[in-house]
Structure 1
Amino acid sequence: MRIMTIVFCGGVLAFQFMPAMPSRRVFLALAVAAGLAGLAGWWLRSRWPGMGRGMLLLAACAAGFQYAGWRAENRLAESLPMAWEGRDVVVTGVVASLPQAFERGQRFVFDLDESALPLPGRISLAWYEGPGDGAGQAPPTLHAGQRWRLTVRLKRPHGNLNPHGFDYEGWLLQQGIRATGYVRPDGERVLLEAFVNTFGFAVERLRGGLRERFRQALPEGRYTGVLIALAIGDQRAIPAEQWRVFARTGISHLVAISGMHVTMIAALAALLVGAGWRRCPALALRWPAQQAGVMAGFVVAWAYCLLAGWGVPAQRTLYMLGCVSLALILRREVAPSRVLAAALGVVVLIDPWSVLAAGFWLSYGAVAVLLLVSAGRLGPGGRVLTVLRTQWAVTLGLVPALLVLFQQFSLVSPLANGIAIPLISFVITPLALLFALLPLQMFADLAHGAMVLTMLPVGWLGELPGAAWQQAAPPVVLAVLATVGCLWALLPRGTPARLVGLLPLLALLLWSPERPPAGQARVRVLDVGQGLAVHVQTAQHDLLYDTGPAFSADANSGERILLPYLRAVGVRRLDVLVVSHQDQDHAGGAESVLAGLPVVRVLASLPYNHPLRLIAGPRGEACAAGQAWEWDGVRFRVLHPVDPVGEGRAGNEASCVLQVEAAGRKVLLSSDIEAVSEAQILAREGSAVASEFVVAPHHGSRTSSTAAFIAATAPRWVIFPVGYRNRFRHPAADVWARWEETGVGMLRTDLAGAVSFNLAPAAEPVAERERAPRYWHGR
C-alpha cells in the first residue's frame, strides 16, 4: 500500500507538468487503461506476483494522473470569461480570509454568493485607500465573515513568468482563486451583514481577533510578526530582513507552523488530559486514560491546525497523528512509514496541487529522513549529541531540495536549530498560545523576550561570512541523484560504500550553469509587469539594464523578481547596473539590487541629488552618449543622452539608451525615449542604430516608435515590456500597427513572459510561456 500511494501521488505530480489540458478522449483512454491494468494486476497477483504488482502500480499511476486531471478540469471551469475582464460588476459575497494590509489598502479573499453572472465562486480583491476613499467616506475596517455588496473590476489570473520565478497563476489555482481585481472607488460598497455565522468564517474571524490582540499588546515589538505566525500561521507581518536571517540559519521551518509545533501541542494536551483522566475513577473505568489522552491530543491538534491556517505541514502532521491515534485506540501497531504514506495520500487527495508547494517536499522529506535515521541508527551519545546528529541528517538529506527550491542552504543550520528548536518549540510557542487563550500581557512579554534572547546567538550565526551556501539552481536530475546519494550515506553503519553516496552531492555542489561562449551574449527581457529589466550575460560578465517597478514602499521587483532570478542563474555579482532614468517602473528595484548583490559599476541617468546616486557612491557614473566598452568579444555602446543629467529631473527624454553587439547581431535597449530623442539618435547614429532586436521605446506608447525610428532600426524582432491590462493601455494600438506593418516579429512580456535570445549565429527568441508551459497559464 505504501508503494501504491507513492505511485498514485507520482501520477498526480506528473499531471501538474502538463503543458495543456488533455482532451476528453485522452482522459477516457486513461480511465480504461487504469481499469484494465488494475483488473489484470489483481488477477496476476497470485500467479505472477512481479507482473501483477507492476500492473497494479501502473494502474495507480494512471489513476493519480486521471484524478488530478478531473480536479483541474473542474477548477478551470470556474475561470472568469474573457469578455468580463475590465468590466464594472456588482457582486455580493463574504470576506473569506484574514484581510492583509499593504501600503495603499487591504487585500482579501471574497467568496461570492450564487448569482446569474458567469463569475467564479472565489476571487481575490484589493480595496485601495485614498483621501475620502472616492466617496467622502473613511476606508472601512474589513473583517472575515462580513457580507458586502461591492462594485468591482476583475481580470483573469495572471502573474509574471520568469525562469526560476514564483508562479503566481499556479498559486492562485491551488488556492481556488479564479479571478483577481479591486473595489471600484465610485461604485457600490454596502455592508449587508456584520458577520455570517458559519464555522469557516468564525475560524477566520477568531484568527483576525487574535492577530489584532498581538498587535495591540506588542505594537513596537521587533518579533511581533513571528509570534503571530507561531500562534495563527499568518507570516505576512514578518519583515524581509528577518526572513533572510531565518533562511541563512536554516530555522525558517520553526517560524512557520511546522509539524514539530503541532506534535508538541498534541503531546502536551494528551499528557494533561491523560493525567487528569487517571485521577477520576469513574472516567477511567469507562474509557482508558491513554486512549482519552490520545483523542484529546488529536482534537487539540486539529483545532491548532485550523487556527494556523491549515497549511500543508500542519495537515501532514494532523493526518499522521490521526493514524497513530486510531491505531492506539484499536490497539494495533502501525509502522511509521505506513503512517507517513497515509498522510501523504490524504493530503494529495484533498489538494492535488499541494505537490507544487515547497513546503510539501520539505515537510515530507524531513519526516522521511527522520524515519530513515531513527531507531538508534545514529550511534551512541547523549541527548544533545543525538539531537545535533539528527539535525545534521535532516540538513544533509534536504540539501538537494533546498538548492532546487531556494538555491541556498544553511551551513550553520545544525547549530542554529540546536539552539532554536527547544526554545521556540517548548517555550516561545506555548507562551504565544497561552496569550492567545488568556490575554495577559505577561505572556506576550515573556514570549517576545524569549524570542529576542533566542535570536541573539542565532543572529550572530547568521552574520558569519560562510553561514549559507548559495549557488545556481541545479538540474532536477542531478538533484535527484544527489538526494539518493545523501540517503545512501545516511543508512546504518555497516552499509557498504556509504560515503560513496556523497559523490553525487559533491557533483551537485560543484555544478555551475553554462555561460555564453566568447564573442556571444545571452539577453533576457524579464517579465516585471509594467516596467523594464534586461539581463545581458557574456562569457565572464553580467549587466542588468533597469530594475523594474516598485510595487509599494516595502515591495519591489528587485527584491521579488530580480534577485531570486539572478541568484538562480548563477550571478554572484553585477559588473554593470544601468539605471536608464528615475521613473519608478525602471528604477524601482535598484536599491534592493544594490543591497542584495555586489555591483562593480553603476551607470545611471539620474539627477545628482537622487538617492540612488548617493547609494552607488564612487561606483556611480553618469550615463552619456559615446561611452563604450567590450567584454569577452561583446561590444557595448551608449547612444543617448548626449549630455549627462544635471540637477534637473531625468525624464523620459534623458533615458540611457544602450546598444549591445555580438556575433554580428545587435540589440537596442531604448528605455522610455520618445519621438524627440529618437530623432536625435537617428541624426547622430544614422544606419548604425540598426539592430536585430529592439526593446520598444516607452513600452509602445503613442509618443514613441516613430516611422523613421522603426525604419532605421529595421529589427527582426521587437519586444514590448508591458504589464497585463496595464492602466496606460500600452502598447498603443496605432504603435502596434505601425510595427506590424513592417513584418517584424512582435512579442509582449505580458503574454509571452520573459523573452530570451542569444546574440549568436542562431538568434531566435524564446518566450518563457512557450518554454515551460503549464495547463493553468492564461486560464
Structure 2
Amino acid sequence: MRCAILGFVAGAAFLQTRPALPDPWHLLACALAAFVLLLALRGPLRAACAGGLLGFCWAAFLAHAALSHELPKADEGRDIQLIGTIANLPHDFGEGVRFHLDVETALTAAAQVPPKLALSWYGAPSGASTIRPGARWRLTVRLQRPHGNANPYGFDYEAWLLGQGVRATGYVRPNGDNRRLDAFVPTPSNLVERSRDALRARIMEALGGKPYAPVIVALVIGDQRGIEQADWDIFNRTGVSHLVAISGLHITMIAGLAAWAAASLWRRSFFTRAQLPLLLPTQKVAALAGATAALLYVLLAGFGVPAQRTLYMLSVVALALWCGRLASVSHVLCLALGLVVVLDPWCLLWPGFWLSFGAVGVILFAGVGRIARQEQGWRGALRLAARTQYAVTLGLVPVTLLLFAQVSLIGPLANAVAIPVVSFVVTPLALAGSLLPAPLSAPVLLLAHLAIEALAAVLGWLAALPHAVWSAPSPPPWLFLLALGGTAWMLAPRGWPHRWVGAVSWLPLFALLPTHPPPGQFRVTAFDVGQGMALLVETERHRLLYDTGPQYAATQNGATRVLLPYLRARGIHRLDGMIVSHSDVDHASGALTLLEALRVDWMASSLAPGHPAVRKAQSGHRRCVAGQRWEWDGVAFEMLQPDEASYADPGLKANARSCTLRISAHGRAILLAADIEAAQEAQLLASAPDRLRADVLLAPHHGSGTSSTPAFLAAVQPSIGVFQVGHRNRYKHPKKQVYERYGELGIRRLRTDRSGALVFDFGEGAEDIAVSAYRREQARYWHGR
C-alpha cells in the first residue's frame, strides 16, 4: 500500500510539470495500463507503477474539471451584473476589501461567468464589517481570466488560483445597484467561514489594534494575511514561521485535551451510575472525541496542508483503534499523504506540503533505534525534544535551501524558546480567550498578546545577529539529491558506520556560488513586474539593477514580490550599482526596500534630494548625467540622458529626466530608455545620434503613444523591442499604433505580460543574441497560453 501511495503522489507531481494536459483518450489508456500492471506484475514495483499512473490520471482529471470553467475572452473587461455569496474571510487591505465570491446567477445577458471569482472592492461600504462570509450580494463586476507575474523563483499566482478553484479575477464596479440581498445563506461552508469571521472580529476588538493581534488571529483561525512583512522577516530569519500557523503540534494538543476530557468523563459515566464503559470502551470514546475536536479545529483553521496532514493521521489512528487493528506510523503517514493529494493535487506545488510531510518523515526515519526509545522523567522528555529538534533541523536543511535559498542558523535556539511559549502558553490562551464570554475574553487575549510580544522581542534580537541566516544559491537537482542522501546518512540508526561522513555532502551545497556570464559578455534579465520596469544587468563580476518595479499594495512592491526572491534564490546579496531612472511609482517603488535588504555600492538616479531612497543611500547616491561612462569586465556603460541643465527646470516632468543607459560589448548593445518621450528622443537624435544604435531596445514609456517615434527607431535600428507592461493595464500600453510601428520595421516584439521574464545573453561575435522567455521555458498547463 505504501508503495502505491508514494507512486500515486509521484504521478500527480509529474502532471504538475506538464505544459499541457493529456486528452481523455490518453488518460483512459493510462488507467488501463495501471489495471494491466496490477494483473501482470507483483510486489512493490507493480504497486508503485500502478499508483503512479493512477495519480497522473486522477490529477489530470481534476485539472480538466477545474479548467472547464473558463471566462470567455469576450466577457473580459466588460461590466457584468451577478448574484453570489461571499465564500471566504474578506481581507481588508486599506484601500478596500478582497474576497472570493461563489456565483449563483449571472444577470447580464449571454455572460458566462465561472462559479468562483476572486474580487477586490475598492472603497467598499464600511469595509469588511459589512462584507461578511455567507452574505448574498448583487454586484456589478469587471473580470479577467487568471493572470499573474511569471518570474524565476517567483510565486505562481495562476497555479494558486487554480488550486483555489478560482477561474476569474476582477473588481467590483461603483454602481448604485450593488447591494446585499441576504445577511447569511446557511450552508456548511458558509457556517464555518462565518464562525471564523466572528472569532477574528472578537480577537481584533478585544486587542484593540495591538501590534501582534494578527499573530493571535493566525494561531486561532489560520488567517495570516494581517501579519506585517517586517514580522514575517523576523519569523523567517529565526526559523519559527511554522509556529505562526495552525501546526500539527497545536492540533494534536487540542485533540489530546479533548480525548483526555472525554475519557475522564466517560470513565466516570459523567458522575452517574450508568456504567458507560461497559457499553463502549473508554479508549474508543477518547479516540472519537479527539478526532472530532481535531476536525472542528482544522475547519476553523482554514484546512491548510499541515492541518490536513495531522487530521488525517489522527483519524487513521482513531479508525484503527475502533477496528481493533494496530496501524504502523509509516502506514498512517502514507495514508495522510495520499488523502491530501487526492483532495488537492496542486498542494504539491507549495513549500508547506514538502516541509510538513518532510518534517514528520525525518522524525520517523531518525527515530529508528534512537528517538523512539522510551524516555523517563522530565530529563528524558527534554532529551527527546532536543533530539527531535536536532533531527528536524538537520533533515530539512537541503529542502529549505532548495525552497528558500537560506537556512536559519539561529533556528534551533529560536525554536527551543518559541515552541514551548507558542504551543503551551500563547495558543491555549488565545483559544480560551476567543471562546470565553465577553467579560473574561479580553484579559485572557491580552495575556496571550503579552506573551507573544515578549517572544517577538527575543526573536527580533536573535534575527538581528550578524550570522543568523546562511544563504546560498538554490541548488541544482543533482546537488540537492546528493545533500539529501548525505543527510539520510547522518540521521541513520545507531550502528550505521561513520555517520558523520554524510556532512561532506553538504560542502558543495553551502559552497555553491552564483553563476555569471563569461568574460566580456553580459546578461540582461527583464522581469515581469506588471506595469513597471526592473532589469538586472550582469557581467562577469558585477551586477547592476535598472529600476525597481511598481507598488502593488501598502507593503508590497516590485522588490518584495519579484526582485528579492529572485536575487536570494540566485545567491546574490550585493549589487555593485542601482539606477532608478526617475520618480514614477512604477519605476522607483522598490528602491528603498532594496537598499534596506541588500548592500548596494552606489545608486544613480534623477530623484529629488528628499526622496527616501536618496536619503537612505546618502553619500552613495549620484545624479544621472549624460556623458557618465564606466566599464565592467569588458562591458561598456554610457549614460545618454538627462543633461545637467534639466535638473534646474522645475517644470520638467519626471519622465523627461529618465536615466537613459546604453550597454555594449563586442558590437552588441541594449538601450534602456525608461520613460523618455518624443522631445527627449529628439534631443538624443541631436546630441548623440552615433551612440543610439542597439540590438535590443527597451521600448520607451512601455510603448506609449508619446514615444518610439519613427526617427528614433530608425536611429536605434533594434532587432528586438521589449515592452515591460502589465496585463490589461489601464494605460493600454503598448499603444496599438506604436506596437504595429515596431512590427512594420521588422523588429521582433517581446512583451513581459505574455512571455514572462525575459533573459538576453549577449555573446561574442556576430551570432544572434540568445533570448529565453520564462513562460516558454517553464510552460505549465494552467498558464493557458
Q: Give the TM-score of the pair, scaled to structure 2.
A: 0.95
Does 2:234 align with 1:245?
Answer: yes
Q: Match of 2:552, SS?
A: strand
2:653 and 2:621 map into 1 onto residues whose CA distance is 16
Q: Match of 2:482, SS?
A: helix
- Indicate the residue corresponding to 1:640 in structure 2: 641
Write the mapping of 1:256-655 to structure 2, written as runs, cut at 5 A.
Answer: 256-280=245-269, 281-282=273-274, 283-374=276-367, 377-378=370-371, 382-438=380-436, 439=438, 440-643=441-644, 645-646=647-648, 648=650, 651-655=654-658
- Indicate the residue corresponding to 1:763 in structure 2: 769
- Indicate the residue corresponding to 1:79 in structure 2: 70
Aligned residues: 765
Moved more, 677-686 or 691-700: 677-686
Mark the CA change 1:90 to 1:187 in structure 2 (over 3 Å): closer, same or farther: farther
2:599 and 2:491 map into 1 onto residues whose CA distance is 37
Q: Match of 1:150, SS?
A: strand
Does 2:175 align with 1:177?
Answer: no
Confirm or deny: 8 A CA contact 2:114 2:168 kept in the other structure: yes
- Indicate the residue corresponding to 1:118 in structure 2: 112
Pairing partner for 1:688 from 684, 688, 691: 691
- Indicate the residue corresponding to 1:735 in structure 2: 738
Q: Structure 1 residue 139: deviation in Å?
A: 9.2
What percentage of aligned pairs have identical amino acids? 48
Corresponding letter in the other structure for 1:671: A
Q: Deviations over 1:222-264 (max 9, x none)?
A: 2111100000000011111111111111111111111111111
- Indicate the residue corresponding to 1:749 in structure 2: 752
Mark the CA change 1:302 to 1:139 in structure 2 (over 3 Å): closer, same or farther: closer
Confirm or deny: 8 A CA contact 1:581 1:650 kept in the other structure: no
Q: Deviations over 1:710-765 (max 9, x none)?
A: 11111111000000000000000000011100111110000000010112135121
1:187 and 1:721 map into 2 onto residues whose CA distance is 36
Corresponding letter in the other structure for 2:287: V
Q: Structure 1 residue 375: deviation in Å?
A: 5.4
1:140 and 1:396 map into 2 onto residues whose CA distance is 45
Q: Match of 1:327, SS?
A: helix
Q: Deviations over 1:632-674 (max 9, x none)?
A: 1111110000126358365111100011112321011110000
Corresponding letter in the other structure for 2:743: E
1:646 and 1:145 map into 2 onto residues whose CA distance is 58
1:300 and 1:172 map into 2 onto residues whose CA distance is 30
Mark the CA change 1:158 to 1:683 in structure 2 (over 3 Å): closer, same or farther: same
Corresponding letter in the other structure for 1:347: V
Pairing partner for 1:205 from 177, 185, 194: 194
- Indicate the residue corresponding to 2:55 in structure 1: 64
1:373 and 1:760 map into 2 onto residues whose CA distance is 49
Corresponding letter in the other structure for 2:61: W
Q: Deviations over 1:116-167 (max 9, x none)?
A: 742110010000018xx8xxx9997210011011110000000000011111
Confirm or deny: 8 A CA contact 2:75 2:111 kept in the other structure: no
Q: Deviations over 1:698-719 (max 9, x none)?
A: 0000000000011111111100
Mark the CA change 1:162 to 1:581 in structure 2 (over 3 Å): closer, same or farther: same
1:32 and 1:218 map into 2 onto residues whose CA distance is 59
Root-mean-square deviation (CA, aligned residues, Å) is: 1.7
Mark the CA change 1:452 to 1:94 in structure 2 (over 3 Å): closer, same or farther: same
Confirm or deny: 8 A CA contact 1:373 1:393 kept in the other structure: yes
- Indicate the residue corresponding to 2:32 in structure 1: 32
Confirm or deny: 8 A CA contact 1:609 1:647 kept in the other structure: no
Confirm or deny: 8 A CA contact 1:606 1:645 kept in the other structure: no
Deviating runs (4+, > 6 A) in structure 1?
137-140
1:77 and 1:359 map into 2 onto residues whose CA distance is 27
Q: Structure 1 residue 356: deviation in Å?
A: 0.8
Structure 1: tracts of 5 or more residues without a match: none
1:16 and 1:565 map into 2 onto residues whose CA distance is 22
Write the mapping of 1:144-155 to structure 2, written as runs, cut at 5 A.
Answer: 144-155=133-144
Q: Structure 1 residue 591: deviation in Å?
A: 1.1
Moved more, 324-333 or 621-630: 324-333
Q: Match of 1:765, SS?
A: strand
Does 2:781 align with 1:775?
Answer: yes
Mark the CA change 1:306 to 1:326 in structure 2 (over 3 Å): closer, same or farther: same
Moved more, 97-106 or 370-379: 370-379
- Indicate the residue corresponding to 1:663 in structure 2: 666
Confirm or deny: 8 A CA contact 1:582 1:650 kept in the other structure: no
1:201 and 1:513 map into 2 onto residues whose CA distance is 49
Q: Structure 1 residue 311: deviation in Å?
A: 0.4
Confirm or deny: 8 A CA contact 2:146 2:168 kept in the other structure: yes
- Indicate the residue corresponding to 2:726 in structure 1: 723
Q: Deviations over 1:427-480 (max 9, x none)?
A: 110110001111421210111111122233333222211111112211133212
Moved more, 220-229 or 472-481: 472-481
Confirm or deny: 8 A CA contact 2:222 2:301 kept in the other structure: yes
Corresponding letter in the other structure for 1:179: A
1:287 and 1:458 map into 2 onto residues whose CA distance is 48
- Indicate the residue corresponding to 2:16 in structure 1: 16
1:513 and 1:543 map into 2 onto residues whose CA distance is 15
Confirm or deny: 8 A CA contact 2:607 2:614 kept in the other structure: yes
Q: Structure 1 residue 382: deviation in Å?
A: 3.5
- Indicate the residue corresponding to 2:185 in structure 1: 196
